[in-house]
Amino acid sequence: KSKGEIDKVKEEIKDQIKDVSDALNGFKEVVNTTFKDSVIDAAEKEVLVSKIETLNKEKKDIDTQYNSLYLDLNLSTSIKNNLKSSYDSYVSKHNSLKVGLENIISDNIITDTEKNQMNTLLENYSTSLANIHSAMNKAIDDISTGKSKGEIDKVKEELKGNITDVDSKVNGIDS
């Protein structure tokens, strides 16, 4: 891919990560507001659930991009392993946030311990989101390098073939 195409893919990933980040920030705002009085009423619970659904929706874009990168044949093993590790961590943090929220709001009362637990879950999610973003950018660079190397190797093989043809024709003239 050309530099312009690589930059375009990176920009798409950046936009997808920003969408998830924006959804996460919206979720954080709702958590901070609804957890203040230590009681979760039905309306607040509904808003929290809708915010998690938004995160789920935005996560699907990350899943799609991850699968595309992970399955690319030009991705080197070490970068692929790093991408998978970062993605698995992101998925784990996403699921932990969902389950944590469900557990915390199940009794409609929020303790200080639960507030701290939710803050930790949100921070872990933010960190994993930054890590998957970085891993995806490294994967794009690696794929680009792999494709370039493959194209160079192909040209080298063609040149070898041409040199062999010329060599045999020169040898034929000498005979």
For 69-117, the pLDDT digits (tens) are 999 988 999 999 999 999 999 999 999 999 999 999 999 999 999 999 9
β-sheet bridge partners, residue 39: 109
pLDDT band at residue 5, thresholds of 50, 70 and 90? confident
164 pLDDT exceeds 80? no
159 has pLDDT over 80: no
| Residue 136 pLDDT greater than 90, yes or no | yes
Where residue 55 falls among pLDDT bands split at 50, 70, 90? very high
pLDDT in the model for residue 144? 85
Average pLDDT over the chain reads: 86
Dihedral of the CA atoms 51, 57, 62, 65 (nearest 10)? Answer: -170
The pLDDT of residue 8 is 85
- Buried/exposed 117-145: b ≥16 CB within 10 Å, e otherwise: bbeebbebbbebbebbbebbbbbbebbbe
In the predicted model, what is the mean pLDDT of residues 48-62?
Answer: 92
pLDDT in the model for residue 165: 59
Question: 111-125, pLDDT tens digit by residue?
Answer: 999 999 999 999 999
Assess whether pLDDT exceeds 70 at residue 167.
Answer: no
Whole-number percent of the chain with pLDDT over 90 = 63
- Say yes or no to pLDDT of 128 above 70: yes
Res. 129: pLDDT tops 80: yes
Contacts of 26 (CB under 8 A, 6+ apart): 51, 54
CB 31 within 8 A of CB 48: yes
